[in-house]
Structure 1
Amino acid sequence: MTDWKRICPLDDIPRLGSRVVRRPGAEDIAIFRNADDEVFALHDKCPHKGGPLSQGIVHGRKVTCPLHGWNIGLEDGHAVAPDEGRCGRFEVKVEGGEVWLGV
């Protein structure tokens, strides 16, 4: 059973943008919102060189790392071929206009 933590109202995350959840002693989590108001949560660290994915460009269900242009799937955290690697993903949902993160 997943425990859920309220993060913020959906409108606090810009469309095609993100919000970072800071976790002392652990990697930060980036919560992304695409143009269709879908939300996704990944470690805020590109699998290539550790770039901050939260500063990348969101397009469709992908984010492009701002450092070297790798595309990362928002649904699964996998790099898009021909690149290889993945970053951790987290459960996230929207209920009543609020974003919830699975912990």
Structure 2
Amino acid sequence: MNWTDVGALSDIPLRGARMVKTAKGCVAIFRTDEEELFATSNSCAHKQGPLAEGIVHGRKVTCPLHSWTYSLETGEAQGADAGSIATYPVRTEAGRVLLDVSTLAQKAPA
């Protein structure tokens, strides 16, 4: 794995997200109310809405454009919607958020 520091954990509010630009595209880093971190593609599979601006609830995010909801764990669309977004390994260390950038090329959405 190729862990890269992408910012301070304190910069991501509970039930919020931050968008990180990488050489392979934009990644959304989410922080749940249970203090869990998840990383996904920042683009909704429906109309490429900015997921980092969506509503985080439990282990899900709802796109701000057309209300598609995705599992932050699997990237799968929920309910009647079909599709998925890429998910990436993310962790914290000493208050910093680390993203495994080696997986970005493998999982980048088409």
Same fold (TM over 0.5): yes
Measured in 1, the distance between the counterparts of 2:9 and 2:26 equals 19
Question: Structure 2 stretches of 5 or more lacking a match?
Answer: 102-110
Q: Quick one: distance in 2 between partners of 1:27 and 1:46?
A: 13
TM, length-normalised to structure 1:
0.93
CA offset at residue 81 of structure 1? 2.2
Percentage identity across paired residues of the two chains: 47
Measured in 2, the distance between the counterparts of 1:57 and 1:21 equals: 17
More helix by share: 2
Query: Runs of 5+ in structure 1 lacking a partner?
Result: none
Q: TM-score, normalised by structure 2?
A: 0.87
Q: Quote the RMSD (CA, aligned, Å).
A: 1.0
**Runs of 4 or more above 4 Å deviation:** none
For residue 3 of structure 2, what is the aligned residue in structure 1?
4
Q: Distance in 2 between matches of 1:13 and 1:94?
A: 12
AA paired with 1:89?
A: T
